Structure 1
Amino acid sequence: MKKLFFKFLTLLFSPLIIAQASGNINYQNRQYAANNTINISFPENEAIMVSVKGLANVKADAYTAIFSITQTGKTTQEVNELMDKRIMQSLNEIKLKKGVETFIDMISFVPVYEYEAEKKVFNRKTYNEVPAGFELKKNIHIKYTDPNQLNEFISILSNYEIYDLVRVDYFSNSLETIKKEMMNKAKILIQEKVKNYEMVLGETFTNAEKRIADDFIVNVPVEMYRSYEAYNSSSLNLKKAANINQLNKSVTLYYQPVVSKEFDFVMNPAVLEPVIQIQYEIKIAITKERKLLSKTDKEFILVTPNGDLKTLNISAARQN
């Protein structure tokens, strides 16, 4: 009896166990579908297509974080003084960190208006726009090499009411070197594929017409974040009209790199932190050489009364 009860509990809670192992994203509709089958189409125009796709995960060696800061005030002098004070005090602390560079980017400086009610005895109120002050916006760019320093920057800037982290850009000095490595690796693999096709077909492509094309795609982490809402709502069977008050659901962001399953080779396949991803693909179209007719062989075409064209095999007729 105890064994049956344990099996019942296992079946009952097994979906929850799976969801916990795969992540809360399963509460949301999937943003990408699993492709577990191979779909091969025959090449067009009698050409054999040979392709190799590669992926490289590159760890960044430099970062730039951009923070936005907004300041308002009654006069231009007040706005500038308050803004400069917040920026200078925060940057004086940040510049004490090792290997850090900063830059201030001017964004906008505009007047701000508000509405003032004009009271009348026998008419409705009229609201007029009147100057209320000025608004100044700037961005703080911080370049650094240690990714752990970002938490320190956030802690320092928050002391001066600077909270808006706009984005973080990733840079690497080895991209060109890695691109060359990918091209060399793809060249070896595509030559192996061509030789394999020659062996399968029992012929050579030495004199065949060939066309080649290749290209790179570089994906940076800021482009690869996705969002989802993790929640499980109850369903209500309401017989009468009723008011339902729903709470705002928390929206979560997560890093979704390019999945490596569709590539012929992957450099640095294990991804722990957000990385720069380089995709490379090379394609070769091989048009098999057609056998030419000898001088003694002639091709005769018969036009039928219906207007159809038929090729007559004269050589076979002579042998018979």
Structure 2
Amino acid sequence: MKTISTKIAFLLLLTFSLSNAQISGNQVYGTGNSNRNSTATGVRSVSVNNSSLSVSVSILMNTKADGFVITFGLNEEAETVKECNSKINKRIDGFIARLKSLSIKKEELYVDFIAQTKVYDFEVNGTTSKQFEKGFEIKKNVIITTHKVSNLEKVITMASEFEIHDIIKVEYYNENSNEVHATLFDAALEMAEVKKEKYLKSFRKRSIGTPDATETFEVYHPKNQYKTYQAYESSEVETYSNNRNTNYMKKVARKNKSFYYDGVSSGGYDKVINSNQTEVGIQYTLTLTVSYKIDTSI
């Protein structure tokens, strides 16, 4: 009987291990480092004593972005400032003209002048070198707003036609963050009231006066929610030699890095709104803690 129980325990342990391995993915190769500014977790707690009752409710909402702001960087070099500015503006004007096909309005475009600097080079003559002024370099950014996620790849492709390859950043934004806050607050307040009534009834207590409350509202943008890992196994190379003057070189194969979106986990929250959203967007969390005074005369 003991042997059978041992076998069952082993099989259960093996099954549990395999099921974990199947759902972990290659993210297990990650170092645990994250670009996230903070890690959000839901807070669900209730404390009650003779004089007070404290109830905490946490809600997470996943939302799609209402729009995107993408910033491109480009530079141009020439012997004179006039020539340099003319060449970079020609590329920018061509790019903006192509964007009209995506119905991007003039007010949704902005060209930001970043820098104008002198460019120097070296002239080598035998064992000496002399630095000389070669020309000028101008850097500019093109900032574009679009309300369609499908436009992002199209914009990037159009930019490449004008040798604009530096995608500096992509910002996500929502226009109704106040409405999101109001939705989360009302939902949290309703759930806190349900919890309060449940615990007052369970412990045969009654609240008096007006409650005190604290609230924490946070917004999580995608740019802070990405992680990276490298999934590979590598052999070790050891070289033995009696000749201490011999230098050895080893060429290491390139290992690709993977990046993935790791948003706020739904674990620990009383309620998750839009829990099945797959599109990367903006996440909002609200934690409401309400404290009630207990009638001690009962």
Q: What TM-score do you get using the length of structure 1 for normalisation? A: 0.73
Partner of 1:306: none
Partner of 2:281: 275
Conserved in 2, the CA contact under 8 Å of 1:226 and 1:255? yes
Aligned-partner Cα distance in 1 for 2:169–2:225: 12
Structure 1 position 255 matched with structure 2 position 261: yes
State the 1:106 CA deviation: 1.0
Partner of 2:139: 137
Letter in 2 for 1:71: E
Aligned-partner Cα distance in 1 for 2:276–2:134: 55
Letter in 2 for 1:217: E
SS in 2 for 1:25: helix
Aligned-partner Cα distance in 2 for 1:52–1:18: 30
Structure 1, unaligned stretches of length 5 or more?
1-10, 33-37, 120-124, 293-320
Letter in 2 for 1:170: Y
**In structure 2, do the counterparts of structure 1 residues 47 and 87 end up closer, same or farther at CA, with 3 Å as the change threshold?**
same
Aligned-partner Cα distance in 1 for 2:25–2:201: 46
SS in 2 for 1:240: coil
In the TM superposition, 1:222-241 aligns within 5 A as 222-235=223-236, 238=238, 240=240
Correspondent of 2:100 among 95, 104, 121: 95
SS in 2 for 1:162: coil
Structure 1 position 182 matched with structure 2 position 184: yes
SS in 2 for 1:85: helix
State the 1:103 CA deviation: 1.3
**In structure 2, do the counterparts of structure 1 residues 235 and 248 end up closer, same or farther at CA, with 3 Å as the change threshold?**
same
Letter in 2 for 1:249: K
Partner of 1:156: 158
Partner of 1:301: none
Off by >6 Å, runs of 4+ in structure 1 = 38-44
**In structure 2, do the counterparts of structure 1 residues 276 and 228 end up closer, same or farther at CA, with 3 Å as the change threshold?**
same
**Rg larger in structure:** 1
SS in 2 for 1:84: helix
Structure 2, unaligned stretches of length 5 or more?
1-13, 35-42, 242-247
Partner of 1:58: 63
In the TM superposition, 1:20-31 aligns within 5 A as 21-31=23-33
Aligned-CA RMSD value: 3.2
Structure 1 position 116 matched with structure 2 position 117: no
Total equivalences in the alignment = 267
Partner of 1:212: 213
State the 1:129 CA deviation: 3.4
**In structure 2, do the counterparts of structure 1 residues 126 and 287 end up closer, same or farther at CA, with 3 Å as the change threshold?**
farther
Aligned-partner Cα distance in 1 for 2:254–2:20: 26
Conserved in 1, the CA contact under 8 Å of 2:45 and 2:55? no
Aligned-partner Cα distance in 1 for 2:202–2:215: 25
Conserved in 2, the CA contact under 8 Å of 1:210 and 1:284? yes
Correspondent of 2:87 among 79, 82, 89: 82
Aligned-partner Cα distance in 1 for 2:143–2:263: 25
Partner of 1:314: none
- The structure showing larger relative contact order (alpha-carbon pairs under 8 Å, at least 6 residues apart) is 2
Aligned-partner Cα distance in 2 for 1:18–1:180: 38
State the 1:28 CA deviation: 2.6
SS in 2 for 1:106: strand
Percent identical across equivalent pairs?
26
Letter in 2 for 1:171: Y
Aligned-partner Cα distance in 2 for 1:43–1:31: 39
